[in-house]
Amino acid sequence: MEATHRRAHARLSKVELRRSRVRRDLAHCAVTLMAEKGFEATTVEEIARAADYHPSSFFRYFNSKEDAVFIGIPEATVEFRAACAQIGPGDDAWTHVRTAAVAAVEHFTEQDPGFFAAQFSLWLAEPAIQAPLAAHFIVWEQIIAEAFTTAARRAEPDLYSFVVGGAIVSIMRACVRAHHLDDDTFAHRVDRACRMLEQGLAHPPARQ
């Protein structure tokens, strides 16, 4: 029974590895073509052909072109949400959120730094994907606001929680824009930027 279970697990792992590889191939080609032609002008058929797959294969791995452009973000968001859910009343929310954000973006970006640099460049240059990019950032903003609300022992987010959530998300945007300015990793840049922000917003103002 145990040997059968191990073989089944090995087969499942091979399937997962192949799925991951195909998704990555398609995403690479999507980002490359969109950088050359633009988001709207690039078709699913062209992406699949460039990756040497049948066009019908694309929709087995992605629901839309946007999903290919933002590969990795949903997984990073799940990881970030789970880490922030561990924050309890009275905890140091700044340290926990910063650590969770750095870990999530590190897993997201460090697997293939060259690809993610191209991905970031596309995010900055392509107007057609600004709305879905903003939607991803809004989710992170909500997670952060909830974490600070819990740490402050509040039932609902207050102005401070919303300000901090928006500020940390702005850090993410700034780090994407600054990715070409130095040789730092994206995760380390996020850590540095969070620490800069903490110096000015680490303590909520006294209630009026």
Model confidence at 208: pLDDT above 50: no
Examine the pLDDT at 47 and tell me if it is beyond 70: yes
Structure tokens at 21: 């590889």
CATH fold for domain 72-201 = Tetracycline Repressor; domain 2 (1.10.357)
Is 27 or 109 the better-scoring residue by pLDDT? 27
- Position 184 scores a pLDDT of 84
In angstroms, the CA 206 to CA 190 distance is 28
Tokens 């062209």 belong to residue:
46
What's the CATH number of domain 2-62, 3.40.50.300, 1.10.10.60, 3.40.50.1370, 2.30.30.60?
1.10.10.60
Mean pLDDT throughout 105-113?
Answer: 82
Please give the average per-residue pLDDT across 144-161, as a whole number: 96
The mean per-residue pLDDT over the stretch 126-136 comes to 91
Q: What is the pLDDT of residue 8?
A: 45
Q: Rounded to two decimals, what is the model's pTM?
A: 0.84
Is residue 97 a contact partner of residue 84, using CB atoms and an 8 Å limit? yes
pLDDT tens column, 175-205: 888 877 878 888 999 999 999 898 886 666 5
